[in-house]
Structure 1
Amino acid sequence: MRKIFQFLFSILIITTFISCGIYSFTGGDVGDAKTIQIDFFRNEAPIIEPGLGQKFTQDLQDLFTRQTNLTLVSKNGQLHFDGEIVDYRITPMTAQANQTAAQNRLTIVVNTRYTNNLDEKKNFEKQFSFYYDYAAAVQLTGSQLDAAFDEIIERITQDIFNASVGKW
């Protein structure tokens, strides 16, 4: 009985060590890439929100440097992102009895081009979007606007990460 226990324990230990070498907690699969280039995402939406392009670009760079071991470079990156913010809109979502909006939705759409210079099959160009709902009586300024940007940008950058190097 003791030999069976030792055998099962050995299998468990071996499996653990083998799987740790393959699994990544971030889910990022950068292949043989060592560098990443993330260009400034210009705000080309019909409504220009000052600082949005800078915040989005910085948050995307931060996500990749935190969750991968890639080095951020300003040119000739083995993985390369560029794009633009193409839509920024506020739309009424629900109506009240007096025909006014009870809730509004801020939506941001980002067009993203991803170039993997080591594996061209992984290249893509697509749009990512997300939204933030808020009460119509609230002005979307100051900390409310910051909270909206944080939520939207976090979701869009994570979607870009998953589409490019994520293996979930």
Structure 2
Amino acid sequence: MIRLVFNRHKIRGGGIILLFIFIQGCAVQLTFDGASIPENVHTASVQTFDNRAAYINPVLSQTLTEALKDRVINGSRLTLAEETGDVDFSGEIVAYETTPLAIQADAVSAETRLTVRINVRYENFRDPEKSWESSFSAYRDFPSEQNITAIEDELVSEIVEELTENIFNKAFADW
């Protein structure tokens, strides 16, 4: 099997035609965002990420689960399975916390960091050797004088986007 990855490189004219003729017989689907998915993998499933953090954001579990589903659908040719797919994502949110940063002379922090940590299990039922379990973490800093409830949705959205991109890359891009 030949494995090729093209990541945002420009290929011109006849080179594209030759490339597609060449890869037509390959056993891996190539996409231009770097994903390489074996031809025998057709479906994916994403289980609900349980929220086991000490502090719970009530919508984080659903937000993360749906964002990962969207990333898999939009970043690959895979379809979502109602039960368990050829590949399956599961896991839990283990931390959702704020931490003061940049403590000033008056013992007040100038910035605060919102951090989300998750554990993810990726099972590849077509090729079990490609299965893995890993932790992912992402954070955003914000001025401490800002009320977190006013910006929490935006921060969580950015964090979830980063987490789902990292999970997708680990599963399908072989970074």
Q: Smaller-chain TM-score range?
A: 0.7 to 0.9
Task: Choose the corresponding residue for 1:65, options 46, 67, 73.
Answer: 73
For the residues of structure 2 that align with 1:81 and 1:37, how far apart are their CA atoms?
A: 6
- Matched with 2:43 is 35
Matched, 1:78 2:86: yes
Task: Choose the corresponding residue for 1:157, options 146, 157, 164.
Answer: 164
For the residues of structure 1 that align with 2:108 and 2:47, how far apart are their CA atoms?
A: 41
Equivalent positions of 1:12-161 (< 5 A) are: 13-20=13-20, 22=23, 23-31=30-38, 32-142=40-150, 144-161=151-168
The two structures, once aligned, show a CA RMSD in angstroms of 1.5
Aligned-pair CA distance for 1:52: 0.5
Which runs of 5 or more residues in structure 1 are unaligned?
1-11
Higher relative CO (Cα under 8 Å, sequence separation at least 6) belongs to 1
What SS does the aligned partner of 1:97 have?
coil
Find the structure with the greater CA-based Rg.
1
Q: TM-score, normalised by structure 1?
A: 0.87
**Percentage identity across aligned positions?**
34
State how many pairs are aligned.
156
Which runs of 5 or more residues in structure 2 are unaligned?
1-11, 24-29
Q: TM-score, normalised by structure 2?
A: 0.84
Instruction: Give 4+ residue runs of structure 1 displaced > 2 Å after superposition.
Output: 12-16, 18-23
